[in-house]
Amino acid sequence: MSQEQLLPYREASDPTYAAAFLDGPFTWDVTDGMLVLRGRCPRCAVAIEAAFPDELVRSGGTSPEPGTHQDKLTLVCTCRCDHPQRPPEVQEGCGAYWALSLTSDAP
């Protein structure tokens, strides 16, 4: 087969996704109050980017209600590949999603 076969779109998660995501060329930085994560989709191996409001991620701080901060982020694949069987209302991604646990190892 000379043509590359894309995986069909499927909403799926796997316990290995998070580790695979962090294992790839993963970088993050904070820009304008947004935490930007860059890595590779563990399912279709395409470079993706996800942004989260920084306050969502920071534990404690000025959080009005203690205990409401999130230490888990759910990432979804936002690739631009043309995965077959992708529903018309979905514009991007292969359907893979995974949760990242953020441990505050900041000093």
Other Cβ atoms less than 10 A from the Cβ of 37: the count is: 20
Q: Closer to Zn ion at the Cβ: 45 or 54?
A: 45
Give 68's contacts (C-beta < 8 A, 6+ positions apart).
Answer: none
Contact between residue 77 and residue 63 where contact means Cβ atoms under 8 Å apart: no
In the complex, the smallest distance separating the C-beta of residue 73 from Zn ion, rounded to whole angstroms, is: 16
DSSP-derived letter for residue 44 is: T
Q: Which positions lie near Zn ion, rule CB under 5 A?
A: 41, 43-44, 46, 77, 79, 81, 94, 96
Q: Closer to Zn ion at the Cβ: 42 or 52?
A: 42
In the complex, the smallest distance separating the C-beta of residue 33 from Zn ion, rounded to whole angstroms, is: 27
In the complex, the smallest distance separating the C-beta of residue 49 from Zn ion, rounded to whole angstroms, is: 12
